[in-house]
Amino acid sequence: MAIHLTPTELAREAGLERRDVIVKCVELGVPIFNGRIDKTLFLSSLRATAVTTTVQTRSASASV
């Protein structure tokens, strides 16, 4: 199983569009080195962002 994937390969595995993978890499600070992305780092960063967003949403709705 490959760990370093091209944006197209990673998009296929993550269920995203290729362009979205590149945008997320830039937003999350995940490096693209020689046209390849570390799958584990990308997916863990994506999950961490989703968890943070969920917690912030719950906190905001509890405050209201």
User: Is the predicted pLDDT of residue 55 greater than 70, yes or no?
Assistant: no
Check residue 52 and give its pLDDT. Answer: 75
In a domain, 46, yes or no: yes
User: Is the predicted pLDDT of residue 18 greater than 90, yes or no?
Assistant: yes
In a domain, 48, yes or no: yes
Average pLDDT of the chain to the nearest whole number: 89
Q: What range defines the domain where residue 48 resides?
A: 4-58
Mean pLDDT confidence for 42-64: 78
In a domain, 64, yes or no: no
HSE-up of 25 (CA within 13 Å, CB side)?
A: 24
**What's the domain count of the chain?**
1
48 and 54 Cβ atoms separated by less than 8 Å: no
63 contact partners, CB below 8 Å, separation of at least 6 = none
Q: Percentage of the chain with pLDDT > 70?
A: 80
Check residue 64 and give its pLDDT. Answer: 60
In a domain, 27, yes or no: yes
